Amino acid sequence: MIILGLTATISWNTAAALVQDGRLVAAAEQERFNRIKQAPRIPPVEAAEFCLQSAGIDPADVDCIAVGFASPMRYALLRGLGTARSLAGHDFLLTAPSVAEYMIQQYKLRQRLFDAMPELASKKWVYVPHHIAHAASAYRASGFQETGVLVTDGNGERDSTQTGFAKNGELTVLDSKAADQSLGGLYSNTTSLLGFSRHIDEGKTMGLAAYGTPKYPLEALRIHDGTYTMPRSYIRDGFWKDFPFQRHKGDEITQEHKDFAASVQHRLEEAGIALAQGIHNRTGYRRLALAGGVVLNCDMNAKILQQDFVDDIYIQPAAHDAGTAIGAALEVAAQLGEPGGFVMDHAYWGPEYSAAEIQATLDETKVPYEKPRDIEQATADLLSKGLILGWFQGRMEIGPRALGGRSILANPGMAEMKDRVNAEVKHREGWRPFAPSMLAESADDLVENSYPSPFMLLTFTVRKEWRERLAAATHIDHTVRSQTVTRDTNSRFYGMIEKFRDLTGIPAVMNTSFNDRGEPIVMSPRDALRTFFSTGLDALAIGDFVVRKKTPAPDE
C-alpha cells in the first residue's frame, strides 16, 4: 500500500513523505526545492513529486493521502468549541481568521497538487490530528514496543503539549495542554523578545543560554506533580512583564539578555523533566519517544535522558512540523493494517544525485575539478590541513540538522575554526556553536554519559582530556551537540572520519549545515556550487569529485 504524507499548509515548515508497505521510503522538506527558508504555509508539491519519482511510483498508484492536521471542517469545529468554552469569547477574533486561512490553504494545496499530478485528484484524503501525527512520527519510527510518548510544540489544532504512551502500535493519550499553555509559544516569545526571529531562531536562544545564569525565576510557570501550568494570559501578556530588557534586532546583546535566555531554558528543561516524570509515574515505562518543535531543543532532551527513570530515548529527527508528513503517513499505514516494525535509524530520505549527474553539472558550469582515487582520504587530508569543506554526498537529510549528507566540515582540533566558519562561511554571530560528528564507537571516550545520538538532538559534556582537541566544536559550557556516526547508516561519512582520525588522532569532525545564513540547506549540486562560490569555503567534496579554490591550506 502506498501512502503519500503531507504537512498541512497551515504549518510553518512543510514537507512530504512516502510510506510503502508500512515503511518510509522518501521524505523531504519543501524549502529545499523552492529555496525559501522553511517554506512556511507553502504547499509541499515539489517535495511530493520528488517522493513519488524517487520511489518510481506513478501518482495513479497512490492509495491515499495522509495530512498531519485535522480536516478544515473538524478544525473549524474544534476551534469553535474552544472559543465557546472560553467564556470571555475574545479568542473568536483569533479563531475566525485562523480557520479561514486554513481552509484557503488546504484548497490551495489540493489545487496545486492536482495541477502537478492530476491522478491524485481521485484519491482519498485522511486527516490525522496534528499531535497524533507528531506522536506517530516518533513512536512508530522508534522500534520501541512499549514507550512513553511526549509531543510538545507551538500548537496544533487546539493543543500544545501531549503526553501518552504507546503499546504494540496503539497510542493512549494521557493528557493534553491547551495552546495557551504552550512551551513552544513561551520559547518563541523569548526568541522574539531577545531580538531574534520567532519560528526560525529558537536555536540562537538556546545557544545564548549557555552564556547566562538563570537568575529570573519565572515563577508563573509552575512545575508540579509531573506536569506544568501557567496562567492563561502568561505567554501573551504576563511573560513580557517578567523581563523589561526587550532587545531589538541589531542591538547589543547584554548580560541581561543572556541571563533571560538561560532562565527560560532552565524552566523549559524543568518542565520537560516534569512531563517525562509524569509519564513514567503513570506508566512505569522507562523509554520515551519525543516529537514536536520543542524537542529540537537538545539541551532539554539531554536533561530528560539524564533522569534515572529514563533508560532509552528516541527523538524524531524532523521533530518540527515537517515530521508530521512522516507521522501522518505511518499512522494511516498502521490504521490500514500495514505491517509495523519500521525503525527510522537515519535521516537520509531526500534526493541524491549520481556521479554522472554531478559531473554533468561540474562540466556545464565549467568548474575545474579532480577525481581523487579515494574521496574519503582526499577529504580527510584537506580537513587535517585546515581547509573548510563543503561535503555533498548521497541522499539529503530530512530535518534541520546536517548529518553528513549536506554538511560543512572543518577540523575540530583547530580552535580558530569556530570563528573562521562563523565569519567566513556562515556569516553569523561569533558566539554560535558548532557540533562534532564522531565515530559511534569513540563517543564514550570523548564525552561523559554517552548515548547514541544519530540525529544531533542531544548534548553531552566533553571529557576534560578531549576539550582541546574538540575546541572548535564545543560550546562555552563544554557541551557538544554531537552526532554519533555509524558505518551502517552512512558508510562514506564514517569512512572519511576514520581516515581523519588516522591522520590527526581525533575521531570526529566539526559539522554544520551546508547553507549560508538565512538560506535552506543545499539540495542539488547546483545549490552546492552556488553556496561554495558565494562563501569562504575552501573546497568541495561532491560525490566522487573535489573542487578547490586557489586558497592554499595553511601548511601548504
Report residue 379 CA to chain centroid gap: 26
Choice between 68 and 350, CB closer to Fe ion? 68
The answer to whether 23 touches 31, Cβ cutoff 8 Å, is no
β 159-167/146-152 pair status: antiparallel
Task: Indicate the burial class of 53 (C-beta count within 10 angstroms; 0-12, 13-18, 19 or more).
Answer: middle
Choice between 153 and 376, CB closer to Fe ion? 153
Please report how close the Cβ of residue 130 comes to Fe ion at its closest, in angstroms: 6
Please report how close the Cβ of residue 182 comes to Fe ion at its closest, in angstroms: 10
What track of x and - describes contact with Fe ion for positions 128 through 167 (by CB under 5 A)?
A: -------------------------x--------------
Choice between 79 and 395, CB closer to Fe ion? 79
Task: Indicate the burial class of 288 (C-beta count within 10 angstroms; 0-12, 13-18, 19 or more).
Answer: buried
Choice between 199 and 548, CB closer to Fe ion? 199
Please report how close the Cβ of residue 292 comes to Fe ion at its closest, in angstroms: 6
What track of x and - describes contact with Fe ion for positions 316 through 345 (by CB under 5 A)?
A: -----x------------------------
Dist. CA 501–CA 478, nearest whole Å: 21
Which residue minimizes CB distance to Fe ion?
Answer: 153
For residue 271, which of 309, 223, 230 has the smallest C-alpha distance? 223
Please report how close the Cβ of residue 314 comes to Fe ion at its closest, in angstroms: 17
Q: How many CA atoms lie within 13 A of 320 on its CB side?
A: 21
> Which residues fall within 8 angstroms of residue 310, CB to CB, at 6 or more apart?
276, 280, 286, 287, 288, 304
Please report how close the Cβ of residue 323 comes to Fe ion at its closest, in angstroms: 8
Strand boundaries in 382-434, DSSP class E:
389-392, 406-410
Which 202-241 residues touch Fe ion, going by CB under 5 A? none
Please report how close the Cβ of residue 93 comes to Fe ion at its closest, in angstroms: 23
Choice between 153 and 269, CB closer to Fe ion? 153
Please report how close the Cβ of residue 226 comes to Fe ion at its closest, in angstroms: 22
Dist. CA 51–CA 396, nearest whole Å: 12
Report residue 545 as a C-alpha cell: 569529485
Q: How many residues of this chain bind Fe ion (CB under 5 A)?
A: 2
Choice between 329 and 541, CB closer to Fe ion? 329
Please report how close the Cβ of residue 229 comes to Fe ion at its closest, in angstroms: 21
The answer to whether 414 touches 386, Cβ cutoff 8 Å, is yes
Choice between 139 and 243, CB closer to Fe ion? 139
Choice between 123 and 320, CB closer to Fe ion? 320
Query: Interface with Fe ion includes 29 (CB under 5 A)?
Result: no
The binding site for Fe ion (CB under 5 A) comprises 153, 321
